Structures are given as C-alpha cells and as structure tokens.
C-alpha cells in the first residue's frame, strides 16, 4: 500500500520537472509537454525500468536531434528548431507502450517483475512488447538523426538506387549501425535497472542479459521496417523551388518514391506495432 502511494507521487514530481525542462528547451511544445507528462508519469509509476527506457529514448533522441542542426536545416523541409515535438508525435512514439504498461499494472500492480514467463506468460509478452517499442523508436531516431549527417550516399532500401538525403526509405550503413546501437542502449537500460529494482533468482537475472542482443536486433529491425514503409507507402519528392526533399506532391515537386498513403507519424506507429509484436513473441520464446 505504501509503495502504491509513494511511487506514483515520485513519478509525478520527476515527470513534471522533465516536461517543464523539455518545454523550456523547445524539445516539446506545450501540447507535447502535457502529453509527455502523462506518459512519463504512467511509465515511472508502474515500473522503474519502463520509465528508464522511456527517458533514455527521450533524452538521447532530443540530444541527437540538436546535433548538426545547420546541416539538417538545409536537408529537412520540416525542420524545427530544437526538434520540437507536439502531442501527436509524443503519442505516436509512446502511445502503444503506455497502453502495454497500463495492462501490466492491471495484471501485476505496483511492482517490478523479472522477465520470466514462469511467472506469467502474458506479462512476459507485454514487457517484451515495451522493450521492442522503445528499441524501434530509439533505432529509428538514431538512424535518422545520425544517418543524415553521414557522408555515405543514401540508397533507397527497396531498389538500392542512390537517392537524395532526406528521402523516406533512404538508408546508409551508418544509419543501420546507429539503429543497432540504439536498440542495445534500450536493452542495457532494461537490464541494469532490472538488477537494481527487481528480486530475481540468479539464473533468471543472468538470463535477462539476453535482452541486450535481442534489443540490438529489435532496433535494427524497427529501422528496416520503418524504411520499407517509408519507401513504399510514404511519398517523397524533390521540390525544385525549395531545393529540398518534401513529403507532399505539388506542381513544383518531382516524385522520388512512395505513395501518399501514410505520413511520417503513421509510418512510425505501424513500424512500432510490428516491432513490438515481433519482440514480444521473441521474449516469450526466449524466456
């Protein structure tokens, strides 16, 4: 009962501080800050590891967004100072995980559990889904933010033909490496905080180290899925007036690839859903 009161209160305080800081630094606009506060509070209140994964994704992606801003401004038609995100972008990158976290809370209450299907098959699947979710988000962000700064020539993932920087579905080796590293960081965060906050048997704790390579694969897989969707279902064209790659057709836009079926937020949601499902199944199989 005591933990049921203290942990949510701590979550509210921490989330309030982080959301206010992110708003002041223009990482989030006002709607994004309010939504982020609710999402962070939910994650931190239910489990320390869930909050830690969310915060690692948020802080690393926010920092990387601000790296090489001058170059990104020249390439990205939708560039925003500081990478400011609104409530739609916050939910597209955390909404599914929030639903899974609430489901875990309904099943287990206020406690940090081991990733062990012997305790609960369903809970293991849900925890695996949360891990996969943030591996995909982090992998996509790192690959996008670092890939565009790479000197490698981007190639369309479906045809391997060279394309302009900023083209949806354009990939580089540096981007894939970044996505793999990003997934590994999420897995490492889960494992380290698990050691600190859960009471697992020695064998169960040791086995959770497998989350790190699994997360690396999930980060890469999420990036690949995102790129495939971007190359096929998301429009990319070159605007001869703005001299940039844009995401909508127009009279001055020369088509590069894709269809006008999904926008960037929708691509993120679909890739997250697929990576979440695959990682969830992998966790049940492994653990």
Give per-residue pLDDT as tens, 72-83.
Answer: 566 655 555 555
Distance CA(276)–CA(44), nearest Å, equals 20
Higher-confidence residue: 184 or 122? 184
CB 235 within 8 A of CB 267: no
Q: Give residue 71's pLDDT band: very low, low, confident or very high (50, 70, 90).
A: low
Residue ranges of the domains in the chain?
A: 2-68+82-286
Q: What is the largest CA-CA distance in the chain?
A: 64
- Under DSSP, the state recorded for 263 is -
Distance CA(178)–CA(204), nearest Å, equals 29
- Asked if pLDDT for residue 61 goes beyond 70, the answer is yes
The reported pLDDT for the residue numbered 69 is 64
Give the lowest-confidence range in 138-152, 220-234, 257-271: 138-152
pTM, two decimals, is: 0.91
CB 169 within 8 A of CB 234: yes
Distance CA(287)–CA(204), nearest Å, equals 9
Residues 50, 52, 53, 57: is their CA dihedral positive or negative? Answer: positive
Higher-confidence residue: 197 or 189? 189
Sheet order of strands, 244-246 included: 244-246, 236-239, 253-257
């Amino acid at each position: 009962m005591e933990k049921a009161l203290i942990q949510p209160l701590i979550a509210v305080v921490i989330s309030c501080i982080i959301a206010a800081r992110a708003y002041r630094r223009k990482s989030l606009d006002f709607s994004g800050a309010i939504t982020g506060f609710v999402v962070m509070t939910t994650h931190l209140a239910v489990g320390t590891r869930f909050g830690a994964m969310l915060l690692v994704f948020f802080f690393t992606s926010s920092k990387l967004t601000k790296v090489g801003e001058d170059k990104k401004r020249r390439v990205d038609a939708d560039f925003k100072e500081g990478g400011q995100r609104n409530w739609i972008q916050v939910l597209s990158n955390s909404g599914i995980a929030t639903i899974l976290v609430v489901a875990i809370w309904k099943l287990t209450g206020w406690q940090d559990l081991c990733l062990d299907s012997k305790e609960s098959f369903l809970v293991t699947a849900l925890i695996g889904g949360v891990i996969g979710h943030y591996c995909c988000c982090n992998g996509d962000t790192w690959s996008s933010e670092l890939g565009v700064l790479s000197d490698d020539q981007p190639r369309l993932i479906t045809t391997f033909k060279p394309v302009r920087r900023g083209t949806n579905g354009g990939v580089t080796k540096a981007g894939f490496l970044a996505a793999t590293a990003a997934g590994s960081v999420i897995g490492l965060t889960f494992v380290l905080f698990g050691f600190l906050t859960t009471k697992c048997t020695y064998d169960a704790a040791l086995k959770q180290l497998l989350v790190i390579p699994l997360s690396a694969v999930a980060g890469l897989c999420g990036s690949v899925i995102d790129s495939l969707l971007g190359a096929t279902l998301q429009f990319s064209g070159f605007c001869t007036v703005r001299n940039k790659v844009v995401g909508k057709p127009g009279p001055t836009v020369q088509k590069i690839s894709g269809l006008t079926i999904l926008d960037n937020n929708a691509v993120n949601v679909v890739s997250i859903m697929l990576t979440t499902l695959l990682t969830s199944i992998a966790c049940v199989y492994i653990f």
